[in-house]
């Protein structure tokens, strides 16, 4: 079964960005590993970072409200971490590279939906142009 967490906050530090999520129901004994993969949820205007457990996946959703913090990860080359209620902060390895790739593909590409395309261009366009 796939669990979905939503990023609800972000805090920018000198060397990193820490994202907070609604992870209260995630058991502390679950072993988590970053997958270094990001998907797009055009319907929800979100980027989805995938975490792996021993037998399932956890989708970490970054809604549009958190995209300015994601932009900071890219433009200021900061490390990204996910704060979880019952775990140590987890490094979101590969997030920057995956986002750059997706942003480049989404910009000017209505296959992701007009709203997703426009939102990505509005927030991330200065990165590409």
Is the entire prediction scored with pTM above 0.85?
yes
Closest to 103 in 3D by CA, of 71, 58, 63: 71
Enclosing H/E stretch for 95: helix 95-106
Residue 25 reports pLDDT greater than 80: no
Q: What is the pLDDT of residues 57-69, one digit of tens each?
A: 999 999 999 999 9
Here the tokens at position 15 are 């060397």
In tens, the pLDDT along 102-122 reads: 999 999 999 999 999 999 999
């Amino acid at each position: 079964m796939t669990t979905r967490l939503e990023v609800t906050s972000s805090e920018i530090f000198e060397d990193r960005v820490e994202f907070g999520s609604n992870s209260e129901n995630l058991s502390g004994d679950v072993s988590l590993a970053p997958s270094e993969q990001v998907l797009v949820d055009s319907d929800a205007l979100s980027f989805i970072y995938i975490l792996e457990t021993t037998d399932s996946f956890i989708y970490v959703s970054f809604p549009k409200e958190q995209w300015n913090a994601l932009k900071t990860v890219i433009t200021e080359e900061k490390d990204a971490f996910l704060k979880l209620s019952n775990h140590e902060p987890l490094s979101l390895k590969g997030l920057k590279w995956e986002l750059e790739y997706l942003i480049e593909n989404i910009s000017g590409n209505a296959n992701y939906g007009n709203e997703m395309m426009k939102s990505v261009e509005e927030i991330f366009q200065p990165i590409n142009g």
